[in-house]
Amino acid sequence: MSRRNKHAEQHFGSDSFLDVLANMVGILIILVVVSGIRAARMPAKNASANPMTASIAAPVPVAPVETPVESEPKPVIAQLPPPPLEPEEPTAEELARLRALEAELAALDAQAAGNRRLLQKVRAEEDVTKQQLAARDRQLAARATELEDGKSRLNGLRQAVGAERKKLSGLIAEFEEVKNSQAPVVEVKHRLTPVSQSIVGEELHFRLAENKVSVIPLEQLIDRLKLQIERQKEMMARFRQHQGVVGPVAGFTLQYQVERQSLSVLDEMRHGSGAFRLAVSKWELVPEPDLEAEDAEQALKPGSRFVAALLNAPPKASLTLWVYPDSFGLFRKLQAATQAEGFVVSARPLPFGIPIAGSPHGTRSAGQ
């Protein structure tokens, strides 16, 4: 509680005490006045008439008389107090004054009761104020704790930023050192580019990514695709389009889309007007996470998957290499090695993130 609240509480307590003290003094004064009025109503009495102060009257003096020695003495008679008088009725003025005092006493009692109620109300308000101040103190303590936590996190972030700045400064210095150093001489071999021609016949496919080569089992996946369409043709015929998946085979999955197509006029004459055909409108190869791949040194060794695919290739088969931007160096090595063995090699460059795909509307590979 603040100093102002304490001062207000002390001031109110002093005023309340003074009010109660004044009420008590007023009540005492009224009682004294009432006692005086009642005493004044009593009739005046002699001191000898009051039984509390009554005393035996002194003997009445008489003149000395000579008596003979033999005579008896006369008895002394005590004087009795008169009987008490009846109290007088109070006057109208006294009654009016008594009623006024009683009314004033009732007003003082009512004022004292109001002061007590006001005191209770003030004490209740004081309790509520104390509770509110306690709640505010708890809120301030919680805010202070949050501020301390925020300062701790801020210090941690500042330290992390300082460490990252040091790391960045080191990287910049290393970059400047490499930049200022003499670049090595790279020998570029040049050869005449032969005229390319469209590939016809058997075709082997390979994927070149991350400077490694993988054999694509495209023929096996297409065979599975044909078998699946044959098994599900009745179900596929209910929809205009159908999407499916076959595989995985040797680390690749084939996703395809089949469309229901109308027949030509000649085919309708052969098979009837209600006939249609199912055709693959597009397909897409998705490599599996466990896809096995070989770098240039491993691929050109005897017994590698790449060499095995070349040895099992049909006569006059051509090679199509799907090349991503990070594997053109590998393509040059494999192209030179396979062309030396008499294979026609075709390159199909692909941007990063674009899968190997095909459709009836696509173009054929051109090999050299």
The mean pLDDT of 183-195, rounded to a whole number, is 48
Distances (CA, A) of 189 to 84, 155, 326: 159, 57, 19
The mean pLDDT of 257-270, rounded to a whole number, is 67
Task: Give the tens place of pLDDT for each residue, 303-344.
Answer: 889 988 888 888 888 889 999 999 898 899 988 988 888 888
In order, the DSSP letters of 125-161 are HHHHHHHHHHHHHHHHHHHHHHHHHHHHHHHHHHHHH
More confident residue, 138 or 14: 138
pLDDT at 28 over 80: yes
Distance CA 246, CA 217 (A): 12
Task: Give the tens place of pLDDT for each residue, 201-224.
Answer: 688 899 999 999 999 988 888 888
pLDDT of res. 51: 43
- Find, among 243, 211, 215, the residue nearest to 229 by Cα: 243
Least confident interval from 137-146, 271-280, 281-290? 271-280
The mean pLDDT of 225-244, rounded to a whole number, is 77
Identify the band that residue 135 occupies on the pLDDT scale cut at 50, 70 and 90.
Answer: very high
Phi-psi region of 287 (alpha: psi -120 to 50; beta: other; left: phi over 0): beta
pLDDT of res. 33: 82
Identify the band that residue 126 occupies on the pLDDT scale cut at 50, 70 and 90.
Answer: very high
pLDDT of res. 342: 86
The mean pLDDT of 286-311, rounded to a whole number, is 89
- Give exposure, 88-121, as e/b (b: 16+ Cβ within 10 Å): eeeeeeeeeebeebeeebeebeeebeeeeeebee
pLDDT averaged over the chain? 76
Tokens standing for residue 168: 């960045």
pLDDT of res. 137: 93
Distance CA 366, CA 307 (A): 22
Model-level pTM greater than 0.75? no
Cross-strand bridge partners of residue 198: 366
pLDDT of res. 86: 56
pLDDT of res. 118: 92
pLDDT at 42 over 80: no
pLDDT of res. 271: 58
Task: Give the tens place of pLDDT for each residue, 17-27.
Answer: 777 788 888 88
pLDDT of res. 119: 92
pLDDT of res. 194: 47
pLDDT at 71 over 80: no
pLDDT of res. 171: 87
